[in-house]
Homo-oligomer: A and B are copies of this chain.
Amino acid sequence: MKVVMLLSGGLDSSVLLWKLRAEGHDVRCLAVDYGQRHARELEAAEMVASIAGVPLLRFPMPSLRLLLRGSSQTDDAVAVPEGHYAEESMKQTVVPNRNLILLSLAAAHGLAEGCDAIGYAAHTGDHAIYPDCRPEFVHAAQIAFRLGNWGADGLQVLAPFLGWLKADIAALGAELRCPMHRTWSCYKGGTRHCGRCGTCVERREAFEMAHLKDPTIGGYICDDGPDLEGDCA
């Protein structure tokens, strides 16, 4: 199949890229720059696509923050919460309707390029705080894409990780030799993973659960001991 996939530069979408390639699909990637605090992700996306040898379109949409208020991902006035992903505080990291915007852009690009499917790396661990990572949402989005476009009756949203844990994704990444050390998860940006924000905690847990060595380059800042870099409050 010809697939356009959302590549954030994080662990999940990078492993999805390796999975789709391994299955023989003709893959192209879309990375949306929506003014997120962790723009470091986008550099990771470019690196990962380049290693995979697949085209990446980096789509600038910095003005998205004009529309939004109150998400720590786009609003500098909101602090990035620390702790576990499933906690109430993590809802601050939710950008309203973000994934439908991103998927809609991917659908537009995919339809213009004659793709059969849109790749989306949402997984079980996201479900608690991101309703737009749940199967029922993915199904509804697929229906909207099909009904809203010509020649899209067979368009699929490929989201094979919907029932997976992040640990399963890390294990598959290791098996497929995905360059996971090149991926970026931390919501705080910077040059090394902070180790304390929701995605850092989730990433560490995933490798631990999969009994894998965490390949994060430079380790986590908060493992250095005293908070020398000011990133581990």
Contacts and interface: CB of A to CB of B under 8 A. Distances in A.
Contact of A132 (B63, B69, B148): B148
A108 B99 CA distance: 10
Number of copies: 2
Nearest to A140: B144
A21 interface: no
B107 A149 contact: no
Interface magnitude class on chain A: 35 or more
**By DSSP majority rule, is chain A's interface helix, strand, loop, or mixed?**
helix
Interface string A50-64: 000000010111011
A191 interface: no
Contact of A147 (B107, B111, B140): B140
Contact of A149 (B97, B104, B111, B148): B97
Interface of A: 30, 57, 59-61, 63-64, 66-70, 91, 94-101, 104-105, 107-109, 111-113, 131-132, 134, 136-137, 140-141, 143-145, 147-150
